[in-house]
Each structure stands twice: as structure tokens, then as C-alpha cells.
Structure 1
Amino acid sequence: MKKWLKRLSPGFLAILFCLISIFALMTMLHMQGNARVINYTGIVRGATQQLVKQEMNSFPNDMLLAHLDGIVSELSTGEGENDLIVLPDKTYQALIQQMQQEWSELKVEIGRVREGQSSRQLYELSESYFDLANRAVSAAERYSEMCVTHSIGVLLCLNGGFIILFILLRVSESRQKKAKMALDLAENASRAKSEFLSRISHEIRTPMNGITGMTAIARRFVDDPEKMTDCLNKIDLSASYLLSLLNDVLDMSKIESGKIQLDEQPFDLTELLNRIQGMFWQKAEDGGVILSMRCEELSVPQVIGDNLRISQVLINLVSNAMKFTPPGGSVTLEARQTAADEKTVSLEFTVTDTGIGISEAFQQRIFDPFEQAQPATARQYGGTGLGLAISSSFVKLMGGTITVHSKPGEGTQFVVSLTLRRSFAGTAAGPQTGKDGTVCDLTGVRILLAEDNAINAEIATLLLEDVGARVDHAGNGKATVDLFSVSPAGTFSAILMDVQMPVMDGLKATLAIRALNHPDAGRIPIIGLSANAFQEDMKKAREHGMNAYLAKPLDPTRLYQTLEQVMIRE
């Protein structure tokens, strides 16, 4: 329908324009005819007055008499040599009929005057005739004015219709252009997502192949501890990479739905940068890349912000720099304080590499989701094309900016600018490890584990028993509440509570435990366990009475550190 409307609209405009032109031409012709009628009606009045004067003064004028006779007749019939039209006005026509009748009487009286009779009657008839002619002229003028007003109204309507149709056509074209642009954007987005799905499929299958392949090899070398350890290490690397892919996809999904929330807590910038350097030094050494960190002019190292998101942004940038920098190159992470006042501190994080660089064209879309410089990039360097889009979204959410400066073959520099609040209370105590970097000792500690998945329960139990803890397992939330409610005071030092369980989920079970009339109900630490790692999930867990929250898959070190922080020791 819209397609036909688009095709027919120019035709409608052309037809309407022709109608306006034809009507305007007809109106002008009609106005010209009206003007001639008014003019000749006035001529009749003036010429008759002249004729009567001549006749009364004994100067006969048969030529003028015949001329007036023809005009009066033509004003009524429209037939004659003066090209007059019949004015279709009832008042005017009635007056013309009276004029014809009185003209006939005038002609008779003129004949009598010529025969020598008194001119008194001719004079009286002429005065009545002049008044009648004046009224006819006025009637013709009023009719002409009415025609002009009507024509103006019609022309305004036609022009208004023309303008409206023209505007509608332009609006329709504009909407169609916008719709086409939206369609093109949707198609581009769909194509980008299709390419992304192809890449993510490849990226997922690669670590999965490593996990399944190393598992098969490990089974063949169960009697070879060295080979077994090597397989397990490679399985762990593949699983970590697979988890990072999953986190990227989930983060992008959250960003697109607008559900990302910041968790602003005190932290130390120096510790953050040292931690990032520690994550990459081995990779840099293995790849022959010089990794350095500069942390200068930080007079306010303790700030309040989303430590996790800032870390994720910088890790993404350093990881990309490492990926695209060949052996012998360098990667530098620099933090610089640009301004500070009593409440805030402005920071600039710069990640510079001497890698392959980025083309100017790709720099324009580098922060768009699912984008990579070219298909070969994914094949050669891997990745999903989400890291920079996620980083850009996090920086914008924190009120900052992220920019890129690069030339192909000359390296790349990313600059992140953030303004954070100053922390005056010091940083929150971070997770603590045991002496000499070992995990804490949980010997003699009894923990209640609520987990419905048998494999997950086995993993958690093994991890806890490995550091000396005793574990009691409950398969759902209700069983956990029941087991805790009948336990003597001090039996359990902590509860590990899976969030999604049958019969009663972990959130409801936590509320039920907190509501028990039990000596430990209000003070026993409850740590939530879930595969949902979003901020609102953690917030909801705390609102339901949980003391901490761990995302699956469980990181053993993080598990031990969290227990050490929250656990009540007898």
C-alpha cells in the first residue's frame, strides 16, 4: 500500500497543480467577463444620459441610439459584437430586464420628442432609467466581488490541499528514509550479530575442545603425575577462557537491556594497578613483550568507585594490547592524577602498545558491539569483539570517557578518563590469604552446604574438606532450614547457600533461617552461591540476609578468603 502511495503521490500532486492552474485561468477569464459587463453597464448609463441630452436639445443621434440598443440586448442575452457574457446573478438579471423595458419606453419617447412633443416625459423616464442603471452596476460589482471571494477561497483550499499533500509526501519520504535507515541498521546489526555468533561459536568450541581433549589424554596417563598435572593445567586455562567468554556475553546482554548497576566501594588505586600487572607479567614474559606500569603523581590513591568494573576495563585494554603486540614490543599501563579537590579526584589511565595499530576507518566503530577490524582478526587473534564495547559502556556509565589514538604499524594508545570520589575512611579490608600466600586453615570448622546439584556439591565439599573443614550437605532450601533449626547452638560456623534450588530457593531459605528462634539464626554467616553474577543479584542476596555472594564456577582462593572474612569462629 505504501509503495503504491509513493508511486501515485507525484501524480496526485501534478493533477492538483493542473486543477489549480485551470481554476485560476478560468477565474481570471470569468473575472475579465464580469469586468466587461460592469464596464458596459456603466457605458449604457453614461451614453443614455448623453443621448437624452442631445435629443432634448434637438440633436438626433441615431448611431448612438442603435449602439445602445445592441448593448442593452447583449447584456441580457450575451449575444452581440461586444463579447459580453450573461452575468448569472438573479438581481442583476432582474434589473437588466427592467432596463430593457424602460429602454423601449425611452426609445418611444425619443421618437415623440423628435416629432415636436414636450421633452418633460423623456426627462422623467431618463432619471428613472439612470437610477436603474446605477443599481445594475452596483449589483454587477457585488456579484463580481462575491465571485472573487469565492474564487480566493477555492484557490486557498486547492493550494492548501497541494501544500498538505506535498508535506505528507515529504513526511512519508522522510519516514521511509528513516525506516530504510533503521532497516539498514537492523540488517547491519543482524549481520554483525550473525558474524558474532559464528565467532563466538568458534571461540567457545576452541576451549571446549581443549577441555574435552585434555580430559581424554588425562585418562590415558592416570599413572603419569607429570603428564596428568600438565593436562589439568591446560584444562584449567581453557575453562578460565571459556568463563571469560561467558562473562563478556552476559555483560553485553545486561548493557543492552540497561540493567548494569555500579557497586561503588572504597579501594586503593595502587593495589588495583599492581594486581593487573601481576595478572599479565607471566604472559608478557612468555610472549617476549615488555610490560611496564607507571603510577605517578597519585596524591589520592584511595578512592570510591566500582573496583570490579574499572579493573575489567583496564584488563580488557591491557589484554588487547598484549594480544596485538608482537614479540619484542612493549605495553605500558599508566595512571595519572589530573586534578583533585576536597571531594573528587580526576584520573587518566593510559594503555599504550607498540603493536599492529588500528586503521582510521575502524577507529570510528571500534567501540561498537560485535565489531572487529576484519574477519581475519578473529581467526588470527581470537576474541568476540565485545571487550571494547563493554569497556566503553562501563566508562560511560561511570561518567567518564574513553578514546583511542592509533596508526597502522605504529601502535595504539587508549585513554580512559574518570572522576571518582575521594575515600577518607580508608579502603575496605580486602580478602586475606593465609601466611606465605597459602589459603586459610579451616580445620575443625563445620559448614552447612545447601546445594541441589550433586556435582557442584561434590566440588564444594572437596574444596572445603581439602582445607580441613567438615561439611554437612542439604539438597534443597527446606532441608537446609530443617537441619539448621534442630542443630545445637554453635554447630555450624557458616552456611553456603545455593540460590536456585527446588522445594525452597536459597533466598527464601535465608529469610526462614533469619526468622528462626535459634541462638545462631541472626549471626551465622550465610554466603550465597549462584551462576548469576550480576550486581542486582548480589544486592538481592544481601537484602534477603546473606552476608556475601560468590559466583559459580567457584574460585577456590576466593571461596577460602570469603569464608575467612565472614566466618564466626568459636
Structure 2
Amino acid sequence: MQQRSESFWHRFKISNAYGQLIALIFLPIMILALAGAYIVLQETSRSMQSQQITAASAVLTRYQKTASILLKLDHTSIAKHAEAQHILQYMLNEPDVIRAALVNVHGMAQISVGHRNHRAWPAFPVDSDFFGPIQFDDNHIYGMRIGYSAQGPVWLMIEMDNQPLTLAKYRVWLVLVATGLFTLLLLLLCLNFYARRWIAPMYEIRLQLQRMNADSLGKSFQTNSTGELALLQKDIATLLRRLNFSFLELKEHTEQTEDDLRKTLDTLEVQNITYKKARDQAISANQSKSVFLANISHELRTPLNSIDGFIHLMLRRGQLNDENQLYVQTIRKSSAHLLALINDVLDFSKIDAGKLELEVANFNLEEAIFDVMDMLSPLASEKQIDMAIYYDHDLPFQVCGDILRFKQVLTNLVSNAIKFTPEGDIIVRTRLEHQDANRITMHCTVQDSGIGLSGTDRKKLFASFSQGDTSVTRQFGGTGLGLAISKQLVQLMHGQIGFEDNQERNPTEKGATFWFNVQFELPDEQPQLESVMSQFNVLSYIAHPATANIFKQYLEDYDAAHHECSSILDLFSRLKQFNGLGEKAWVIVDHSSDLDALLQEIRTRYQGNLAIYGYQMLLDPQILQTHQALALNQPLSRQNLLKLFFNQTQTTSAPVFNGQGLHVLAVDDHLPNLVVLEALLNELNVEVTTALNGQNALNRIQERLDKNQPLFDLVFMDIQMPVMSGPETTQAIRGMEHHATQTHQLPIIALTAHAMSDEKEHLMQAGFNDYVTKPIQLEQLMQILSTWTKADQLQTIDSHVNAPSLATPEMSIQSTHYNHIASDHTNDVILDWNLSLQLAANKADLAQDLLRMLIDSFDDEQSDMEQLIELEDFPQLEQNLHRIYGATRYVGTPQLQQLTGEFEQFVSILRKEQRPADDDFIEQVLQRYNALLEAMSHVRIAAQEYL
């Protein structure tokens, strides 16, 4: 309250508009008015006094002769005295005369008339022929000498009534007050008009400008102003939009510049490391070289700034011919891998300079190892390399050490194994080597079946800047610092590192085995893990021998009954025996190229618990869901195995979800997407409010805030929308929550048609809570609603059933990956009506409506795309293609979906690479556009059968 009061009075300082208005206009007018009133009062009083003096002088002059005659009469005679009084009585007829008398020098009245003639007359100047006014009892006394008597001079004196003067003065005061109030009212009206017309809008503009920051430059700028201020407001809003655009462009250029600078810096630092080592070999080079590398970064960055700046200038000016453009682009591409080099170099220099310190904290050892393997599994999956990990049962659950450096060592070894292994497998083994009361030593090996190591390679393998591959082609690339850094990191963790060639152990084996051991402290307490599985019966077939042995060893450690099959046919022959073993029976089978056919064959013989072992990105969740199977991700871990058996023990019963009481806001600029989402949510008894863009969504939320109604339980938000994009709308909602002092954050779930590996991180930074990929399935909605709403009150599941989670973000990414893979095999399918029904929650009417809306949009989309291609507005063309691609994900049109997605990705090249559109690019755009039109025509024809 005090701060608000201070802010209010701050406006009236002389430096502000209100203060200047009061000081320059209001105060001078008030001072002039007060001075004028004072002068008027003075002059009026003086004028009325002069009038009274004039009137008194006139009366005395008129009766001077009469009074002289009366003075000569004999006053001793009563009759004469009464006659004199009668004559003098005529003076009382004069205006304002109260009494009159003939007074001698002693102040004694010889003749006196009037109603106050009994009172004495005040002292008066006896040496004056005329005097007055003399104040006496609120009246004025005037006198004139008229002659002499026996006692001395005699004066004719009269008393004038001052009441007319007082009344006249009151009238003047009344007129002045009325005039002053009227003047003040006019001034206040003028001040109010001026303030509302100019000052208040200026303060609103100032407040909004003060609240502006880099994130809110693109928001709307609104004030209640007219005239010139309205024009100023529009100019400021335009300026802010330009600033926002310039800021985003500058930010993008800055990031690109920093990236290019780092890449160029990496190249020069690596070169300088080499030069430094050669120079310092004559002195005992290692320590001096490391100190030099640690201190030279500033000197390297200065020339690199110039180099990078000139490269950008050359590219921005666009004056390069095709050949020079290729050269400059080659320079930029050649520096793409320098970031990894500089990181290795800096780590190496820190270690050699003794400036690298390990951070000690408790961490899950098994989880850390599998984090590394999960991170590298896409690379192994791409090369079709099997990976397996054996985690010793005797190793503790938690240890105390530097998890980041431990992962760095393991990542270097496993990534090298993947890099130098064209086919085969990679096996990681861990075991407890030694244990004390509060410390353990863990031994880890990484075995691959790659190219192996020659005798020459072994001598320099752990040396800095050396590799096993030293050929001119540098097939595998790299800095040669990974193993050197790993060696020194292991030494910092009080361990050792080494390697051996597999052929020395067995002449028929290929590849090499790297090993290291490190020491970890033990925390005071270890969590207790569930390790008894004697009630489980497991039938398995895993083709990879190492994984099969590891799986077998895990089950033996947990006392589970395990039946291992020698082939897939052996598995089929045993399946019927497992049908009657109850919910504790599991069948685990290896992933195959035709997963759908494999699961169909299994389900003809077996209806119990089923899990498929394979890489996460190769297992399609839709196929798994169709056949009620779960995924057991490669490489196999104890935690995933325990989670599979104890948390998800049945797949034949689906959860019953009741969303009654939930109110969800769905935001999407494409009507078919909204229709599908609303239909799916209605299936779950969820109330849905829809909005076609971000601004409409904000209006819906603001309406509920204005009416003091509770906000929505959850928001589904599309990413790419007109008016306001999904991230912009989400940030605006977070701002509204902050100002509305909400007790809990509104869950906002992103809807996207493209799920990239790093997209979730960007969405979380933008304010989203989670995301799902299109097309949205009913299971995904159930999972999202259970996670982000009152799941304990809304989800009802059979007490004997624990259903698996089928809609995690990871599975959404798998689904997207599968769609891209499957598109290669389904691009000749024009309209898949079964898929359309599945995407429409098996509702034929909804599937027909979605198909009809898609076809109805073709004409408008075709017209818009033709105009955009003619104008070469490829960013907007990318938005249109994204809209069509999102619509096709809810309709079974595989060919159209594939062409639209590829077309969108192709157009996005301009934005990602920031290059102008050349003739070749435009020609390819036209080719893809014609193919898209042809696919639309095919969909129109095929849809006639169902509409």
C-alpha cells in the first residue's frame, strides 16, 4: 500500500507530466485568481468606504448651516431645546444615519437625536474641522465643526450605519467564491481531459514498455488512446514486432556464429596442440604443453572471430558463383565435427594440467551403465549389431563417485567398439573385483567383433592423437584423444585400463576387448531389491547367444523356472504347454524382421503374457498392442526384467478409464484433428472445449478467470498454428497463471506430427508438461489423463490386473519411427479403410467425416500452394504441408501421407540450411507438388467407394 502511495505521489514531481501541468498552468492560475480576489476585495472596501465618507460629508454639509443656527438658540429653555431637537431630527431621514448631535469640545452633546442618543460619543480630534471615519460599535462616526459656544468649539457629529458596507462586502465575497469555484471546476475538467487524453495513455505505454522483455516482444501492445497517441501506439507496436523479428534473427545468427566459431576454434586448437607438443618435446613436453593449451584459448578465439565473420559476410552478400558457394559451404561442413575435437582437447589439457577434479555423489551404478548403452543403442541398431550387458549380481545398487566421468569412459569404449565393428556383437561385462568395508573395485570389459588391433596399433593406442586407423582415407574418423582421456580418467578414479586382441585368446574370434577397473566409495545404506521370482515360469527364445546366457543367468539368480528353446520352431511346439500356467507364466521371444507375422503365429497357440526382445526403435507399439505383447528392450537389464514381471503381469485385460468430471481444452488449427481428439475424449466421458488457434484458447481461459471459474484440468496444444503458435500460447498461459496466482500449474500437452529425439527437451523449455505424437491413440489419451489429472479417482482397473503403459513419449517416438519405416512398404496404398477406422476409434461415421473433410480441403490447399510456390514463400508452404500431413495422419492414406511428409521435409531444407532457393530447388518443388496433386486425385477416386 505504501509503495502504491509513493508511486501515486511520484507522478506529481516537477519532472513528470502531472507535476509540470500543475506547476505551469494550475498553480499560476490559482495564484492569479487569489491575487485578483484580494485586490478586488481591497478596492471594493476602499470604494465603499469612500462612498460612505462622501455621503457623510454631504449630510454634514447640508445641515451645517442649520446646525449653526441651532447652536445660537437658548438651550436653557426647554421649549427651545425641544424645537432644536425636532429640527435636527430631519437628519435621521438621511440614508444610513443612525443618530446626530451637537457636541462641544468636552464631548458633551448639547443637542442629540436618534435611538442611541443616550450613549456617549467617542473621542475625536479637536483640531480638525472635519474628521471621520472613527470606528465605534461596528459603526463609523463623522463630524464637522460648525461654530463656537461659550464652552468652546462645537461639532456637528453623525453616526453612520456600517451594515450596508458589510452586506456589500459579503456580496463581493459570494461573487468571488462562486467565480473561484467555477474557475476551479473548469481547471479540473481541463486537467482531467488533458490527463485522460494525453498523460494516462502515455503512462500505460510506459508501463507496458517497462514490462517488455525479450520473450514478450512479439505479444500484442494495447492501450486506450486516440489521435496522435493512437498513431504513436501503432508505431511502437510495429517497432516492437520488428525488434522481435530482429531479435529472433539476431539470436539465430548469433547461435550459428558461435557454432561456426567453436568449430573453427577446434581446428586451430588441435593444430596448436600438435605444434606445442613438437616444440616442447625438447624440454619435457607434457606439462608445458597442457599449460599452454589451457592458456591459449583467448589468443585462438581472436583470429577465429575474423575468419568466421568473413565467411558469414561472403555467404550473406550472395555474390558468390556456384563454384565459390560450394567452396564456402565445404569450409563450413568441414568444421562440423570440430566441437567434439575441442571437447576432447580441453578435457585432455585439463587432466594434464591437473585442473580436472572429480565430483563425488551417490548414483545408481546399474542405471548409469544402461544409460550409456541406451544412448548408443540407436547406432548399434542402425548397423544391426547385437549388444548385451552382464551386470554382476554381487555389485551394489548404489555407489559414490563421479557418474559423469564414469559414463564418459564407458561411452568412449562402447562408441569405439560400435565404430570399428561392421557386424557382429558387442558384449559388456561387469563384475565385483574387490570390496572393503566402505569401498569397492569394479571391473568392466567391452568386447567387440570388429577389425581388431595390429601389433603397431597397440603400441600407440592410448597415446594422445593416435588411432588404430591411420590410413589416408580415415574411414572411421575421430581425434585419437578418446582412449587417452579415458586412461587418465580411470587413473583419477584409482583404476587401470587396458586391452587385448581376441585372436590371442581364440584364433577364430575377431575384434578386441577393452577393460578397465575403477574404485567407488559405498554409501551408508543400500536399498533392498526384489530378487525372488520362484513363482514365475519363463519360456524364451533369444537368438543372440550372449544375451541368452545373460538372460538365463539373471533368471537363475532370481530362482525363476526357465525353459530355453533352441529355435523358433522349438518355441512354437512348447507354447500350448504354457497356456494353462496362469498369470505368472511368460513367453519371451526375439525380435524378427516380420514381427507382425511372428506374433500372429504365437497368438494362435498361446494367449498368456508375451514379451518381445529387441531394440526399442525396431519394435512397433501398434503391432505390440494389437497382439497384446510388451517390449523388453535390448540390451537386457535386470531392472527392465523385474519391471516386466512385477509391474506388468497381465496384458489380456485393458484398463477401464472414466474421465467423467474432467474438462479438457483442445487447441488445433486443423478441424479434422479437433474432431478426432474430441471424439476420443468423449469416449472417455471427458468434457471438451475446442479452440482453432492460440488466441482463441487464451480467450477461453480468460473467460473462466473473469467468471472465477476453475481452469481446465488439462490442455492439448498443437505446435504449429496461425495467429499464435503452440509455444507462444503456452508461455502466455503461464503468464496468466502467474498473474492469477493459481495454486497449481495447468498441465499443457503438446501435439506434434514429428517426434524428434530432442523435441521433448525443447517443448519442456517452452513450458509444456508432456507431448504426444499424431495420430493420437485412445491408450495415449488414457495414459496422459492418468498421469496429469486425478488418476486415482478417474481410473478404474481390475484389482487383479496391472495393465502396461502404452503411451509413453518413448513409444510415441517408436511409433513415428515405425511410420517412416512402414511407409516404404505401403507407399502404393492409396486408401486403407481399416486403418481409417482404427484411427477414428472404430467409428465409421467419424472415419467418413474425416475422409470427407480431408478431400474437401484439397481445392483450397491446392490453390494456396500454387500461389505460395509462385511467390516462392517456402516457409508458409512448409506450414501448409504440415497441416495436410497432420490431417493425413488421421485418415488411412499412406501414399498421400508419405508424399506430404517428404515434401515438407524437403521444403524445410531452406530454413534449416538458411540458403536461397535456386532453380534446381524450385524445379524439384514443382515435381513434388505435381506428385502430391496426383496422389490427391487418387484419394478422391478411391474415397467414392466409402462416401
Pairwise TM-score range, normalised by the shorter structure? 0.3 to 0.5
What TM-score, normalized to structure 2? Answer: 0.22
Pick 1 or 2: higher relative contact order, CA cutoff 8 A, min separation 6: 1
What TM-score, normalized to structure 1? Answer: 0.35
Structure with the higher fraction of residues in helix conformation: 1
